[in-house]
Structures are given as C-alpha cells and as structure tokens.
Structure 1
Amino acid sequence: MAALRVAAYLLLLVLGVLTGVAGALVQAAWFPGGLLLALLGQMALCYGGVRVMDTRLGGGAPAAGWTAVVLYLTATRPEGDFVFSVGVGSYVFLLGGMVAGVMCATMPKLSQPGRSSARLGK
C-alpha cells in the first residue's frame, strides 16, 4: 500500500514537470488565452492531486515538479537560446503558477481519516 502511494506521488511529480513544459510553450504562443490555459492547467493538477491523495503533499508534488522545470527553463543557455520571452505574460506565468502551487499545497485537509461525516448526537 505504501509503495502504491509513493508511486502516485512520483506520478504527480512527473505530471507537474509535463504541465510546466507544456505551459511554458503555450503561454506565449496564444497570449492571453494560452497564459490562462497554462495557469488553469497548473491549478487543476495541484488541486486534483490534493483531492485524489487527500493530503497536502498531493498538491505539493506536482507544484514541486512544475517549479523545478520552469525555473530550469528560465535560465539562459550558452548558445543564447531561451524559452521565455521578456514580457508581462512570462512573469505572470512564473509567479502565478508558483502561487497556485503554494495555495494548493497549504490548503486545509479535506477530510479527517477514520471519522464519519455524520453528525453525532442527533
């Protein structure tokens, strides 16, 4: 059972990496719709991770993968190539995605394990 949870967290981490790469390519291509689509994809993945795993780490794993790959893509290369252009959209994508990941990773737990949702005493 624990190995299955670890595999699920690793899958969420990989999905965060893929979402970061896809968002980096889409956010400037179809501005402003691509930016909105990239941010909504990041938010949906992090929130979905929280809901599926029922832990905060479920939102933190894709946020960590997303942040790592996006920060890697912001670095300039010796060849002079870069993924992000200079502009407001790139900064909104970087900061907005990080804020969305932190919000999902720090949101309150959705349910308490081992307790029923029924009211007691009535």
Structure 2
Amino acid sequence: MSGDRSPLMAQPLRPPSAARFAALLGLCLLGAVVGAAGALVQPAWFPGGLLLALAGEAGLCLGAARALRSRAGAAAAAVGWVLAVVLLTTSRPEGDFLFAAGAGSYLFLLGGIAVAVICTTLAPGRQPDGDPVRLAK
C-alpha cells in the first residue's frame, strides 16, 4: 500500500453518531410496524397477502440499506421485523393468538426470516472513499 492511508478494515471501530443511531432505531421500529402489519395482512388474503407482506419486508430492508448506504440499515429493519413477529407468535394466558397453525403462518415466519437474511446479505457493504479501483492494487 502507499502508506498515506490505512486499509479500511484496519481502522478502529467507532460508535455511530447520534443521527445514525437515531436512524437505526427508527428503522428498527419501522421493521416492527411492517412485521405487525404483515402478520395481519397475510391471513386475510392468503396467497396475495403473504406475497404482499414478504414484499413489504424486502422493500423495507433494501430501502433501509440504500438509505444508510450500509448493511446496518437492512439489519436494523430485519431485527425489528423479527422481534415483532416472534412476540406476536406467543399465546396469551387467555388462549388468544395471532398466528394459526397453518401453512400460511409458517411460510410467513420462515419466508420472512429468509427474506431478511437475503436482503441483509445482498445489501451493499461499506465502501472506501477514493478511486473506484480494486483494493489489492
């Protein structure tokens, strides 16, 4: 390397700024809202509602990654979605529950987790500033 700049991976980690932390928290809350809305929509119109709920989650995760220009945005939205959906799967002492034991509910849970992992993995990672060349040169 030229010595004037250290590689991106060699730089120490810094805590996120207050604005970035607020954005991540907001995306986590938005993920929870999308998860709760998807839990209500997917059993209403079975094939279409399921696809709509999963497409909404994918759009949120990819949009969050583009907005923050890192995978952290997609991960924050995915964490909010998973937390909301997992909390909605528990039954209450009265016996009430939101998810029935059917194929649609399982497809929503497992498909949503798969969509969250795929969107977080495929989101653009952090790129160094400067020339758009390979780092090994």
Letter in 1 for 2:99: F
- Quote the Cα distance in structure 1 between the aligned partners of 2:83 and 2:126: 29
- For 2:89 and 2:123, the matched residues in 1 are separated by 31
With over 3 angstroms needed to count, the CA separation of the structure-2 counterparts of 1:111 and 1:117, relative to structure 1, is: farther
Kindly indicate whether residue 16 of structure 2 is the aligned counterpart of residue 16 of structure 1: no
The aligned residue for residue 113 of structure 1 is 128
Residues 38-57 of structure 1 deviation map (CA, whole Å, 9 limit, x = unaligned): 00000100011111111111
TM-score, L = length of structure 1:
0.89
RMSD of aligned C-alpha atoms?
A: 1.8
Listed one character per residue, the Cα deviations across residues 36-86 of structure 1 (whole Å, up to 9, x for unaligned) are: 100000010001111111111111001001101101111111101000112
1:51 aligns with 2:51: no
Query: What TM-score comes out, normalization by structure 2 length?
Result: 0.80
Gaps of 5+ in 1: none
Q: 1:117 Cα deviation (Å)?
A: 4.2
Q: AA paired with 1:55?
A: S
Residue of structure 2 aligned with 1:36, choices 6, 27, 51: 51
* Match in the other structure for 2:79: 64
* Higher Rg: 2
CA distance in structure 2 between the aligned counterparts of 1:45 and 1:116, rounded to whole angstroms = 30
Q: Which amino acid aligns with 1:3?
A: A
Q: Output the amino acid matched with 2:115.
A: A
Give the letter for the 1:76 counterpart. Answer: S
Aligned positions, number: 119
Contact 1:51 1:110 in 2 (8 A): no
C-alpha separation between the residues in 1 aligned to 2:115 and 2:107? Answer: 11
Do 1:19 and 1:41's aligned partners in 2 also have CA atoms closer than 8 Å?
yes
Identity over aligned residues, as a percent? Answer: 52
Partner of 1:87: 102
Structure 1 moving runs of 4+ over 3 Å: none
